[in-house]
Amino acid sequence: MAKSTHKTTTHTSDDQDALEKKIRQQEILLSLSAEIIRIKNKPGLMAMIRETLGQLFSFSHAIVTLICEDRKHWKTFLVDSDSTTRQHKQYNDLITHTYPIQDGIYNKVLEAEGCVVFDLDELVARGNAPSHIIIQHEAGIKEIAAITLVCDNIQLGVLSFYAKTHGAFTKDARDIIEQIVGQVSLAVANVQQMEEINRYKQQLEEENHYFREASATGYTYSDIIGTGEAMQKMFHLLGQVAYANSTVLILGETGTGKELVARAIHNSSPRKDKLMVKVNCAAMPASLIESELFGHEKGSFTGATERRIGKFELANKGTLFLDEIGEMPVDLQVKLLRAIQEKEIERIGGRGPIKVDVRIIAATNRNLKKEVAEGRFREDLFYRLNVFPITLPPLRERREDIPALANHFIGKYSRNAGRKEMSISSKAMKELMSYDWPGNVRELEHLLERSVLLTSGNVIKEIDLPVIYKNTVKEEKDYTKTLAEMEREYIVEVLKRCNGKVFGPGGAAEVLGLRVSTLNSRIKKLGIKKETLIS
Ligand SMILES: Nc1ncnc2c1ncn2[C@@H]1O[C@H](COP(=O)(O)OP(=O)(O)OP(=O)(O)O)[C@@H](O)[C@H]1O
């Protein structure tokens, strides 16, 4: 009897313990339900999984993976690894790679009704374990408990828990995992949605910036002045290509109007209501162009403190204008070619490809065929871009356009200055017609802008052409200088006038109406040294 009483007492105390444990579990699970709806980001969700569930059963870390858009692969969404796993040499692969679903493990979880437990020693001993399992095993993991995340009857991915001891995932632990999986699924879907919203917010902010810029540059064909034969041929080509979706390569010296033409093509295309996003491939160091083009995830490299959407994504459904494509570093050319061909990009540190629908317009003042022959430009990319080349002739080869251009700029800048429309004397026009315009239309535009401001009456009689040019015309009648010589002398003259200052207000780039990068590459190409400026 005593024995039986003792037995009953023990039984009662065990029951009591079990009951208390159950009540505590229920309290924790209830607080989980209350808190989970408030979670808006990944760290919050991970902290909740770790802290709340860590009180109910023990595990070393947890991972949430998601099924990719193609529904054939999965990738990591959320990870809370312990330090041993983090130190594994392939840890980065684990959190960034996409893995096939049909690997004998992941698909098993998706096919199962509830929580599935895997013994890693056993899986690895069999010899055909997938690499993500081998990495975990090498980091000391013995057991994985995994369950499918489902929201609105759609499988989202898998929630898995990792333990460094065998038998960690008892029946109790598995029951808890099965109880919470619905709520975690909901939280994952919410976080995904919040991320999407933030992505669109960032995109909208960037688009706003572009719309502000674009509203000042809504050029169409009518803004391109050119009455001569060469320009008429060019207009004909524009008419043929603008409406198509084809890639266009615009070739021409600096200042010939390549960007103007690119904007006119975009504004006459079915994509005109979307953005034309410009990337100047010469203005940035190689490391930055990659992130500028493809974007990066937060923390993907030193200095990447925020996630950044690349210009490719920003130009989605619109046009991407790759200016100075000839300056693009060779290793990036490979990535660009892939993005154009596959119509998808990958952010630096990103977790898989993103589809993009972008029309490419590229421009360069370099001779791309020569660049290819000399190994500075990839042949495959050249052919991919050279689908529809448009060459803008230098201004000296279409002097017949100079009067119309001059009148256009004089009109524009007298209006800008709030003055009565000015005109130009025939003597001054003759001078414009006989100058060689190494800076092309941009140089003509800048010169006339200055002339409008410097002329007090209504007729421009004096044109402030570079001194070196005027001297050359007077003194060297018998010798025709090469264009490169003229250009070199002209740049040296301007640099001297600017006391060697290349950029900034009053610098040579501003005076010449050239980009600093263009001027610098000219200075290098023409062999202009500091010493030259002293002589
Ligand atoms: N045919 C044209 N009609 C009117 N304006 C023109 C024409 N061509 C060029 N311009 C003007 O000349 C300036 C330089 O043109 P743009 O920037 O398009 O040249 P670019 O060839 O892209 O130069 P770069 O190679 O240096 O980038 C711009 O202000 C542009 O509006």
DSSP helix/strand/coil, 359: strand
pLDDT band at residue 479 under the 50/70/90 scheme: very low
The preferred substitution site among 224, 323, 442 for testing ligand 1, maximizing ligand atoms within 8 Å of CB, is: 442
Say whether pLDDT at 476 is over 50: no
Closest residue by Cα to residue 332 from 345, 350, 316 = 345
- CA quadruple 117, 121, 126, 128: dihedral positive or negative? positive
- In angstroms, the Cα distances linking 163 to 29, 82, 83, 120, 424 are 21, 11, 13, 10, 85
The preferred substitution site among 217, 231, 259, 391 for testing ligand 1, maximizing ligand atoms within 8 Å of CB, is: 259
Tokens of 190: 């919410």
- Domain region containing 351: 217-393
> Poorest-confidence range of 58-67, 177-186, 288-297, 400-409?
288-297
Whether 356 and 232 map to the same domain: the answer is yes
Q: Give 348's DSSP letter.
A: B
Say whether pLDDT at 474 is over 50: no
Ligand 1 mean position, distance from CA 515 (Å): 12
- Residue that finishes a domain, picked among 353, 369, 393: 393
Whether 354 and 464 map to the same domain: the answer is no
Q: Is residue 490 part of a domain?
A: yes
Closest residue by Cα to residue 225 from 103, 403, 394 = 403
CA distance 41 to 43: 6
279 versus 499: which is more confidently predicted?
279
pLDDT computed for residue 467 by the predictor: 56
318 versus 38: which is more confidently predicted?
318
Q: Is residue 241 part of a domain?
A: yes
pLDDT band at residue 27 under the 50/70/90 scheme: confident
In the chain, the percentage of residues whose pLDDT exceeds 70 is: 87
pLDDT band at residue 6 under the 50/70/90 scheme: very low
Whether 379 and 463 map to the same domain: the answer is no
| Burial class (CB within 10 angstroms; exposed 0-12, middle 13-18, buried 19+) of 448 | buried
Say whether pLDDT at 369 is over 80: yes
Phi, psi at residue 399, to the nearest 5°? Answer: -60, -25
pLDDT computed for residue 297 by the predictor: 74
Q: Is residue 445 part of a domain?
A: yes
| CATH number where 121 lies | 3.30.450.40
Ligand 1 mean position, distance from CA 427 (Å): 25
- Give helix 330-342 / helix 286-294 axis angle, nearest 10°: 10
Say whether pLDDT at 473 is over 90: no
Whether 349 and 240 map to the same domain: the answer is yes
Q: How many domains does the chain have?
A: 3
What ipTM, to 2 d.p.?
A: 0.98
pLDDT computed for residue 100 by the predictor: 95
Nearest CA to ligand 1 atom 28: 442
> Poorest-confidence range of 13-22, 244-253, 262-271, 480-489?
480-489
pLDDT band at residue 5 under the 50/70/90 scheme: very low
Whether 252 and 153 map to the same domain: the answer is no
Q: Is residue 270 part of a domain?
A: yes
Beta bridge partners of 160: 63, 146
Q: Is residue 204 part of a domain?
A: no
Ligand 1: lining residues by beta carbon, under 6 Å? 224-226, 252, 254-260, 323, 365, 405, 441-442, 445, 515, 518
Largest CA distance in the chain: 134
Whether 416 and 493 map to the same domain: the answer is yes
Say whether pLDDT at 7 is over 70: no
Tell me the H-state helices in 216-345.
229-241, 258-267, 286-294, 311-314, 330-342
| CATH number where 463 lies | 1.10.8.60
DSSP helix/strand/coil, 10: helix
Q: How far is CA 477 from the centre of its chain?
A: 53
- Cβ atoms of residues 283 and 322 within 8 Å: no
Closest residue by Cα to residue 132 from 74, 188, 80, 83 = 74
| Burial class (CB within 10 angstroms; exposed 0-12, middle 13-18, buried 19+) of 156 | buried
* Arithmetic mean of pLDDT, 268-284: 86
Whether 458 and 376 map to the same domain: the answer is no
Nearest CA to ligand 1 atom 31: 260
| CATH number where 262 lies | 3.40.50.300
Whether 37 and 175 map to the same domain: the answer is yes
pLDDT computed for residue 481 by the predictor: 59
Tokens of 166: 């065998």
Q: Is residue 203 part of a domain?
A: no
- Cβ atoms of residues 352 and 75 within 8 Å: yes
Ligand 1 mean position, distance from CA 426 (Å): 25
Phi, psi at residue 470, to the nearest 5°? Answer: -65, -45
CA distance 430 to 407: 13
- Cβ atoms of residues 356 and 346 within 8 Å: no
- Residue that finishes a domain, picked among 342, 362, 393: 393
pLDDT computed for residue 520 by the predictor: 84
Q: Is residue 347 part of a domain?
A: yes
* Arithmetic mean of pLDDT, 198-226: 66
Closest residue by Cα to residue 364 from 385, 348, 343 = 385
Whether 234 and 337 map to the same domain: the answer is yes
In this structure, how many other beta carbons lie within 10 angstroms of the beta carbon of residue 473? 13
> Poorest-confidence range of 75-89, 256-270, 288-302?
288-302
- Residue that finishes a domain, picked among 364, 393, 422: 393
* Arithmetic mean of pLDDT, 445-453: 91
Tokens of 498: 């600017």
Give the chain's mean pLDDT: 84
Whether 248 and 164 map to the same domain: the answer is no
Q: Is residue 201 part of a domain?
A: no
Say whether pLDDT at 21 is over 60: yes
Whether 259 and 326 map to the same domain: the answer is yes
DSSP helix/strand/coil, 279: strand
pLDDT band at residue 442 under the 50/70/90 scheme: very high
- Give the pTM: 0.57
Whether 510 and 466 map to the same domain: the answer is yes
DSSP 443-484: HHHHHHHHHHHH--SSEE------HHHHHHHHH-TT-PPPHH
pLDDT computed for residue 471 by the predictor: 45
